[in-house]
Structure formats: C-alpha cells, structure tokens
Amino acid sequence: MPQHSAGILLYRHPGEQAQVFLVHPGGPCWAQRDIAAWSIPKGIIASGEDPLAAARREWREETGLAVDGHALALGTFRQPSGKLLSVWAIEGDIDPARLVSNRFTMIWPPRSGQMQSFPEADRGGWFGRVDGMTHVTKGQKPVLEAFWTALADQSAHHGRFSANK
C-alpha cells in the first residue's frame, strides 16, 4: 500500500484575485531551485491518525503557525512517487515572514560525516494562479488545478468562493 500524506492549501482573497500559500523546501538539495520546487505544507499521516488532523499537524510543523477555519476537501492525488496526497483548502491569511519550520538533519556535505540541521521549509509565499502553477512541484499541479476549478465553480454558482458554503 502506498504511503499517504495530507496537507493544507491556505488561500486568501477568494475570487479572481485569489492567492495560495506555498512553502519552499529547505536544505542544500533545494537551495538553488525555485521554479517547480514549491509545495503545499504536507506530510505523512500516522497510523490511525485522522487525515485532516494530520494535515493540520503538518501545517503547524512546516510553518510554526496554527490554521483554523472550515476545510474544503480538494481530493486525493497520486504523486509521481506513487504516494497519495489528500488536501484541504482553508481560507486564511498569514505573514510569510512569520514562518518558522521544524528542522531535519542530514550528512552535509555528502560523505563528510558531518551532520547538519536544516529547516523543512526555508520560506513561504503567496502565489496567484499563474505563478503558483509555475512554482509548485509537478506532482502538486493537479491540486492547484482542483482548487482553481472549485473556485471557478463556486464563483459561477454563488458569486464568491467560500469553503463555508
């Protein structure tokens, strides 16, 4: 059975000016990458853990911030690795400068035997539709497409996108 992860796609300004919040992975492997490198804050669902609770936990771990509000299920998406990713959209607004991620350790430089610590996410940012699709990883483009489709459907039927409707 494939691993299953969960994540939160925070959004603000419902409507044509909507933006989504993405994080840039930390560590030396990602340091020079920007295009197709950003991600939805996400992580592995623990055995027996509620997927939405896992998504909220992972959000806190990767951003250092709590996220509240009604969660709109966007679906479960198969990633290129074969892993499954379930994502919920939540309306909110945060200052990217307040992001404080948990850390991981790895041997760096390679074969040096030195353990170094890096943030799981080294920065976050708000992206509109075009920039978001450019910056998000290839495997998470379908998540953003699902969000933009849901936003358009809600706007057409209700005049304004809201996860509470």
Residue by residue, pLDDT tens for the chain (165 residues) are 789 999 999 999 888 889 999 999 999 989 899 999 999 999 999 999 999 999 999 999 999 998 989 999 999 999 999 999 999 999 999 999 999 999 999 999 899 999 999 999 999 999 999 999 999 999 999 999 999 999 887 766 665 454 443
CB count, 10 Å around CB of 144?
21
pLDDT (0 to 100) of residue 161: 52
pLDDT (0 to 100) of residue 153: 79
CB count, 10 Å around CB of 131?
15
| Within-domain flag for 163 | no
pLDDT (0 to 100) of residue 163: 44
| CB 1 within 8 Å of CB 146 | no
| Within-domain flag for 165 | no
Number of folded domains that form the chain: 1
Give 133: exposed, middle or buried? Use CB within 10 Å, 0-12, 13-18, 19+: middle
| Within-domain flag for 150 | yes
Q: What is the CATH number of the domain that holds 147?
A: 3.90.79.10
Amino acid occupying residue 72: L
| Within-domain flag for 164 | no
Domain boundaries, position 68: 4-158
Question: What is the number of residues in the chain?
Answer: 165
pLDDT (0 to 100) of residue 1: 76
- Indicate whether this model's pTM tops 0.85: yes
